[in-house]
C-alpha cells in the first residue's frame, strides 16, 4: 500500500456508533430554527386555544422538515458547496443575485424575530427594556460568531437545546397532563372551529429560508473525500440519522410547549397570544419556578436561534462571492453584520417592535418559495448532483411539499395584510 492510499484510508470515516457521534451537530443547529421564539408563540396559542387537538400539526411539520432538510444537506455533501455557493455557480448571475439578495433580506427578518425573542426573555428575567435587551443579545451573539469555530458553536447550541429540553421536562412534571388525549392528538388530524389560522401558522413557521442555507453550509464543512462514492454514501446515511434525531428532538420540544399550554391555560380557558403573557400566567397556575424556567428557556432559544441566523446570513453573503462560511473570512464577517445590524436598527426605529416582527414574517413568507424551488432545481440537476440527483419520486414529493409550504405562507401573508 503506497503513502497516498494510506492517507486516503486514514481520511475515511470509521463505522460504528462512535463514528455516528462525529456527525451529530448540524441537524441540531437546524432544530434551533424549529424551536425559535416565533414557534413558541404559535405553539402556546395552539395549546391554550385548542388543547391537545393540534399536536398532529407538530408531527406532520416534523416529517415535512426531515424531508426538505435532508434534501438540502445532500447538496452540501455531494457537491461540497452550500446552497448559496451552488446558486452562484450553477445559475446565471441575473437569477442568482436576486435570489441571494432576497435570502439575505430573509436572514435579516429572521434575526429580527430571534433577537426580539431573547430581549423579551431578558425583560422577563431582569426587567431590562426591550431595546437594551436587544443590544445585549446582539453583542453576545456577535462575540460568539466572530470568535468561535463550527465545533465550538455546535457545542454551545447543543448545550442551549439541552437546557430548553430539560426546562420543558421540568415544566411538564409540574402539571397534570392527559397523556391519552396527547397521544391521540399526535396522530389524529383534526380542525376545531377557528383553528385553521393556527394550523397554518405552525406549519408555515417550520420551514425557514435561512435554515436551508444553514444546513447545506454546516454539513458540507465536514466533507471527507468527495471523489470517493463510498464515503459520500456513508455521509448521506449518517446525515439522515443526524437530521432524524435532531428533528425528533425539535418535535418533542414543540410538543411539550403545546402540552404545557393545553394542561394549564386551556384547562383554565385562558387564550395566550404573547410570550410575556404566558410567563406571567404560569406563575399563579404552576408556581414561581415555572415562570423563571420558562424565561430561561426562552433566552436560550433566542440566543441560539440568533446565532444560527447569523451563520446563515454569513453563508449567504459569502456564497455570493463563491466562498464558504468561515468566522475569520471578511465576507463572512460582513454577512453576520448585515444580518444583525439592520435587524437591531429596525427594533429601535419601529415604534412597536411586535409590528416589526409581523413585517419580518411577511418578508419570510415572500422569500421562502424562492429558496425552496431553487433548492429543488439544484438537487434534481444531474449537472450539479451527478448520480446523486433526486429521483423522480423525490422530486414529486419535494415539489408537493414546496407547494404546500408556499401556499401556507401566501395565506398567512394575506392574513397579515388584511388583519
Q: Return d(Cα 87, Cα 72) in angstroms, integer.
A: 12
Specify the CATH superfamily of domain 23-221+231-418: Amino acid/polyamine transporter I (1.20.1740.10)
The distance in angstroms from the start CA to the end CA of the chain is 70
DSSP 227-246: T-HHHHHHHHHHHHHHHHHH
What's the pLDDT score for residue 221? 59
pLDDT for the residue numbered 13: 44
What dihedral angle (degrees, nearest 10) is formed by the CA atoms of 5, 219, 374, 357?
A: -170
pLDDT for 173 equals 86
DSSP 351: S
Residue with cell 429558496: 371
d(CA 159, CA 148): 15
- CB burial class (10 A; 0-12, 13-18, 19+) of residue 140? middle
pLDDT of 151 reads 66
Distance between CA atoms of residues 99 and 106, nearest Å: 11
Instruction: Kindly state the DSSP code that residue 222 receives in the 8-state scheme.
Output: T
How much is the pLDDT for 14? 46
CB atoms within 10 A of CB 204: 25
The DSSP call for residue 262 is I
| Grid cell at residue 70 | 435532508
Instruction: Please tell me the predicted confidence (pLDDT) of residue 128.
Output: 94
Distances (CA, A) of 114 to 34, 119, 122, 163: 12, 9, 13, 17
For the chain, the farthest-separated pair of C-alpha atoms sits apart, in whole angstroms, at: 73
**pLDDT given for residue 3 in this prediction:** 39
Digit-by-digit pLDDT tens for the chain (419 residues) are: 443 344 344 444 444 555 555 556 666 777 777 777 777 878 888 898 999 999 999 999 889 888 988 899 889 888 889 999 999 999 999 999 999 999 999 899 889 988 988 998 999 899 999 999 999 999 999 988 888 766 677 778 888 888 888 888 888 888 889 999 999 999 998 888 888 778 877 776 677 888 889 888 887 655 555 566 776 777 777 778 888 888 888 899 889 989 998 988 888 888 776 777 777 777 776 677 778 888 888 898 889 889 989 999 999 999 999 898 888 889 999 999 999 999 999 888 877 655 666 667 667 777 888 899 999 999 999 999 988 899 999 999 999 988 887 887 777 777 767 76
Q: How many residues does the chain have?
A: 419
What are the domain boundaries of the chain?
23-221+231-418
**What percent helix, strand, coil does the chain show, rounded to 5?**
80, 0, 20
Q: Report pLDDT for 228.
A: 65
Predicted pLDDT at 332: 92
Mapped onto helix, strand or coil, the DSSP state of residue 14 is: coil
Record the cell numbers describing residue 322, joined without a space: 463563491
Q: What is the secondary structure of 318-349 as a DSSP string?
A: HHHTT----TTSHHHHHHHHHHHHHHHHHHHH
Record the pTM. 0.83
- What is the reported pLDDT for 359? 66
User: Torsion over CA of 304, 309, 310 and 316, rounded to 10 degrees?
Assistant: 150
Amino acid at each position: 500500500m503506497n503513502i497516498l492510499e494510506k492517507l486516503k484510508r486514514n481520511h475515511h470515516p470509521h463505522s460504528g456508533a462512535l463514528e455516528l457521534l462525529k456527525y451529530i451537530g448540524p441537524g441540531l443547529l437546524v432544530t434551533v430554527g424549529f424551536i425559535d421564539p416565533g414557534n413558541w408563540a404559535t405553539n402556546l396559542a395552539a395549546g391554550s386555544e385548542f388543547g391537545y387537538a393540534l399536536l398532529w400539526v407538530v408531527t406532520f411539520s416534523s416529517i415535512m422538515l426531515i424531508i426538505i432538510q435532508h434534501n438540502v444537506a445532500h447538496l452540501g455533501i455531494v457537491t461540497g458547496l452550500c446552497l448559496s455557493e451552488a446558486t452562484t455557480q450553477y445559475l446565471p448571475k441575473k437569477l442568482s443575485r436576486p435570489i441571494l439578495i432576497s435570502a439575505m433580506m430573509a436572514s435579516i427578518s429572521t434575526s429580527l424575530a430571534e433577537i426580539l425573542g431573547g430581549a423579551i426573555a431578558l425583560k422577563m428575567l431582569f426587567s431590562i427594556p426591550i431595546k437594551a435587551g436587544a443590544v445585549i443579545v446582539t453583542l453576545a451573539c456577535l462575540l460568539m460568531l466572530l470568535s468561535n469555530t463550527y465545533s465550538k458553536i455546535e457545542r454551545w447550541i447543543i448545550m442551549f437545546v439541552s437546557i430548553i429540553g430539560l426546562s420543558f421536562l421540568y415544566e411538564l412534571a409540574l402539571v397534570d397532563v392527559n397523556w391519552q388525549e396527547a397521544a391521540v392528538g399526535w396522530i389524529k388530524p383534526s380542525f376545531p372551529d377557528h383553528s385553521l389560522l393556527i394550523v397554518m401558522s405552525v406549519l408555515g413557521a417550520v420551514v425557514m429560508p435561512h435554515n436551508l442555507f444553514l444546513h447545506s453550509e454546516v454539513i458540507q464543512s465536514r466533507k471527507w473525500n468527495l471523489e470517493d462514492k463510498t464515503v459520500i454514501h456513508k455521509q448521506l446515511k449518517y446525515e439522515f440519522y443526524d437530521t432524524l434525531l435532531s428533528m425528533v428532538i425539535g418535535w418533542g420540544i414543540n410538543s411539550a410547549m403545546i402540552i404545557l399550554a393545553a394542561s394549564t391555560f386551556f384547562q383554565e380557558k385562558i387564550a395566550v397570544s404573547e410570550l410575556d403573557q404566558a410567563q406571567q400566567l404560569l406563575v399563579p397556575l404552576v408556581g414561581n419556578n415555572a415562570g423563571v424556567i420558562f424565561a430561561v428557556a426562552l433566552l436560550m432559544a433566542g440566543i441560539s436561534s440568533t446565532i444560527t441566523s447569523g451563520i446563515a446570513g454569513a453563508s449567504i453573503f459569502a456564497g455570493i462571492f463563491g466562498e464558504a462560511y468561515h468566522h475569520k473570512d471578511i465576507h463572512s464577517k460582513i454577512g453576520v453584520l448585515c444580518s444583525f445590524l439592520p435587524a437591531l436598527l429596525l427594533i429601535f426605529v419601529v415604534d412597536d417592535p411586535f409590528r416589526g416582527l409581523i413585517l419580518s414574517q411577511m418578508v419570510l413568507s415572500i422569500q421562502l418559495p424562492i429558496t425552496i424551488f431553487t433548492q429543488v432545481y439544484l438537487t434534481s440537476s444531474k449537472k450539479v448532483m451527478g448520480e446523486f440527483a433526486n429521483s423522480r419520486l423525490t422530486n414529486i414529493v419535494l415539489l408537493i411539499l414546496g407547494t404546500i409550504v408556499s401556499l401556507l405562507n401566501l395565506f398567512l401573508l394575506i392574513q397579515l395584510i388584511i388583519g
